[in-house]
Amino acid sequence: MNPILNISAYKFVPLPDAAELRTALLDRALALQLKGTILLAEEGINLFLAGTGEAVRSFVTQLQTDERFADIEPKESWSAKQPFRKMLVKVKREIIRMNHPTIRPAAGRAPAVTAATVKRWLDQGHDDAGRPVVTLDTRNAFEVDHGTFANAIDWRIDKFTEFPQALQDHKAELADKTVVSFCTGGIRCEKAAIYMRDAGLAHVYQLEGGILKYFEETGGAHYQGGCFVFDEREALGTDLSAINDLRVGFP
C-alpha cells in the first residue's frame, strides 16, 4: 500500500484573521512533519498537504475544531513517496486569483451538480430538461493538455484571470445550453460559475468536487487522459494514482 496520504481541500469563508492563522497552521503542520502548501486570504482557505495518514488526518481533525472549517471535506489520494519539497503557508489577496472582487462564493454559490449527475447527463447527451450539455474546462491550457472531458470546451487560457474576457468572447456559443464548469478540485469552478451566472447565462453549474471527486465517484467515464496536479506527481489517473509514480519523491 502506498504510505503517503495526499489531500486537497478549500473553503470560501471570511478569514479576517488570515495572518494570525498562518502562524498557527504552519506550526501545526511542521509538528506533524507534513509538507505542502496552504493558501489563506480574507476570502478563505486552499490547501494541499501530504504525509502519513495518521498525521494528515490529525491535522484535518484539528482544523475542523474551528467552526469555520467544521464541514471541510478533503479529497484524498495515496502515493509511494512524498510529492512536496517543503511546507509553506502563505497569505494572499485571493486563494484563487480572478481579479473580480465582487465574485464572492462565501456570499452564495452558483448551483452545483454531482459527479453522478454529470455522468448521467453525458451518457444520455442532454440534461433532465432535454437541453444539450457542454462541459467547460476552466483550467489553464497546460493543465488541459494532460487530460480533460471528451469534447470539453477549452478556451486556451494561460491563467485564470483571463477567464472573464474569454467568457465575453465566447458567451454566445453557450446560449441555450446547460454548462457544467469544472476544474481540478472545484475552487475555480466556484468563481467561474458565479461569473457566468452574473453574465446572464441561465443554465450554469459547477461540478461538485471537481475532476478528482469525479474520478473517485465515477471512475472517470467520459474523461480522457489524466488530471494535472500541482506537485511532483504531475498528473493523476482516473484511479487517483500518479500516472508516473517513479518520478515522485526526493532522495
Indicate the domain borders of the chain: 4-95, 105-246
pLDDT value, residue 249: 38
The whole-angstrom separation of Cα 77 and Cα 18 is: 27
The whole-angstrom separation of Cα 153 and Cα 249 is: 34
- Tens of pLDDT along the chain (251 residues) come to 789 999 999 999 999 999 999 999 999 999 999 999 999 999 999 999 999 999 999 999 999 999 999 999 999 999 999 999 999 999 999 999 999 988 999 999 889 999 999 999 999 999 999 999 999 999 999 999 999 999 999 999 999 999 999 999 999 999 999 999 999 999 999 999 999 999 999 999 999 999 999 999 999 999 999 999 999 999 999 999 998 643 333 33
CATH number of 105-246: 3.40.920.10, 3.40.250.10, 3.40.640.10, 3.30.70.20?
Answer: 3.40.250.10
Q: How far out from the chain centre does Cα 80 lie? A: 22
The whole-angstrom separation of Cα 100 and Cα 136 is: 20
First to last CA, the chain: 20
pLDDT value, residue 248: 36
Beta strands in 1-111 (DSSP E): 4-12, 35-41, 44-52, 75-79, 87-91
Q: CA–CA distance from 6 to each of 60, 124, 155 (Å)? A: 12, 34, 30
- The residues that are catalytic are 183
pLDDT value, residue 246: 34
Phi/psi for 73 (5° steps) reads -130, 95
Sign of CA dihedral 69, 73, 103, 198: negative
Q: What SS3 class is residue 45?
A: strand
Instruction: State the fold for domain 4-95.
Output: Alpha-Beta Plaits (3.30.70)
The whole-angstrom separation of Cα 179 and Cα 200 is: 12
Q: Which amino acid is at 139?
A: R
Grid cell digits, residue 194: 458565479
Beta strands in the chain (DSSP E): 4-12, 35-41, 44-52, 75-79, 87-91, 112-113, 133-137, 147-149, 153-154, 178-182, 204-207, 223-225, 227-228, 235-236
The whole-angstrom separation of Cα 160 and Cα 141 is: 10
pTM of the model: 0.90
pLDDT value, residue 1: 74
Residue 229: other Cβ atoms inside 10 A: 22
The whole-angstrom separation of Cα 100 and Cα 127 is: 30
The whole-angstrom separation of Cα 209 and Cα 54 is: 23
